[in-house]
A and B are shown apart, each in its own frame.
Chain A
Amino acid sequence: MKKQNYIADAWLVILLSLLFGGGLAGVQASLKPRIDANKLGDTLSQIPALVPGSTRGEKADAGEAVVYKALDAAGATTGWVIPASGQGFADRLELLIGLDATGGRITGLYVLDQKETPGLGDNITAKAWRDQYAGKATDKPIVVRKTKPEAPNEIQAITGATISSDSVTAIANAAVAKFRTDLAGGGIH
């Protein structure tokens, strides 16, 4: 077979590739801002619920780390929201943790993504359980108990899902500790 034949045979493939390449570039250019806004909005839309008194949020300047700043209507900083992730019972957990302006107290916790066992572990998304974290001081790590909490830094595990509860708490503790170190070191604006 002569060499030209390959080119002649493949002209349709080449033409289609160019057409599709152009078309996809167009799709990417027109939709990318929207998709990026969706991704960011996923986090930002949770901020008013996570930090009381805030109405909106924005990405804070925190060097390598990703931190969101919660702002009230007047534009003053009311608190911080930090994303955190780690191993859960079944798969990775992704959390958002709300903190007050000094980082001294947790104001809320939200589960962005989880694949825990339905009916047991996925109760970590329930508001009643998550609300246990609100108001906890951050100078001591939170401890999970199977029975009713006694000390102020304790929360109660979900029945039948101790590992999921432990995982959320461990991820939150580590993220909060790192954030406090960064905040005290002046790395976050």
Chain B
Amino acid sequence: MDYLATILLLAISTALINNMVFHFFVGNCPFIGVSRKLDTAFGMGAAVTFVTTIAALLSWLITWAVLAPGAPLTTWVWHLIRPDAKGVVDLSILNYVVYIFVIAWAVQLVEMYVRKFFPALYKAFGVFLPLITTNCVILFVCLEIMKHVPSAGDVPDPWGLDKALIYAFCAGLGFLIAIVIMAGMREEIEHCDVPKPLQGPGITLIMAGILSLAFLGFTGMDSNLAKILKPAPTPAPEIKAAPPPAS
């Protein structure tokens, strides 16, 4: 139950409260560029969700096994080369370079796989796949996971693979929700008389501003939910063997 509550809270907080587009501003280029039609917007959102999850899986595994300070695989290889070596091997400087290539590779892989085995799915969002290598949502998710991969260093809130995957999936879902809402609104605004200078990106950004105002309403939902789901483990902590207060 406690585990389920943690997962549910993480999911809500990622998809709604800290929405990728409205809270962290990542993925704004496709959010503005590909939100003109509802079906293409949905395709884009689905593609991002899919690739984000796969990239998160790969980057968690690579970070945990190779890149993080004191990672098992790196340490093992290092001890093969230098059996007498001491200290922690730390490859975290390579994080950014590795992530961007993991993402590019994942996108290629997913494109080939989907084209071959799920032609229907490929028709739905295949055309967007090459575009999303430079989608900030995916790199942002990888960077966020990087901060939480358990390692020899100080990690304040370590995530296992399960949490990382749920985080990534919900981050993509949040993007999907945002872009679909936006596309629905833009289809309507086609029929409106928008002042000429604001047409295109201008009015889209203003609408995004109002939407993000609406999403602000979710703030605090997680801490209140946490209270309901996890009935107060902390209040009135029992203090044993208290030393006498200082004079």
Contact = CB atoms under 8 A, between A and B. Distances in A.
**Is A in direct contact with B (CB under 8 Å) within the complex?**
yes
Interface of A: 20-21, 24-25, 27-28, 66, 85, 87-92, 94, 100-105, 117, 137-139, 141, 163, 167, 170, 173-174, 177-178, 180-181, 183-185
Interface string B223-247: 1101000000011111111111110
Most B-side CB within 10 Å, residue of A85, A137, A181, A185: A181
A185 B241 contact: yes
Chain B's interface: helix, strand, loop or mixed, by majority?
loop
B120 interface: no
Given A105-B245, A141-B236, A181-B239, A24 B94 contact: yes
A89 B245 contact: no
B93 A27 contact: yes
12 contacts: A25-B93, A28-B90, A87-B223, A87-B226, A89-B219, A102-B245, A104-B242, A138-B242, A141-B237, A170-B234, A173-B237, A180-B243
A117 B17 CA distance: 13
A137 to B, nearest CB: 6
A156 B211 CA distance: 35
Contacts of A25: 93
A28 B226 CA distance: 40
B240 A184 contact: yes
Interface string B169-209: 00000000000000000000000000000000000000000
B224 A183 contact: no
Given A20-B97, A90-B219, A163-B224, A174 B237 contact: yes
- 5 closest A-B pairs (Cβ-Cβ)? A104-B245, A177-B237, A184-B241, A28-B93, A174-B234
A92 B157 contact: yes
B219 A117 contact: yes
Given A24-B94, A141-B235, A141-B236, A89 B223 contact: yes
Contact of A104 (B156, B224, B237, B243): B243
A163 B156 CA distance: 22
B18 to A, nearest CB: 7
A180 B237 CA distance: 11
A95 to B, nearest CB: 12
B242 A180 contact: yes
B141 to A, nearest CB: 16
A170 B235 contact: yes
Nearest to A101: B246
Nearest to A141: B236
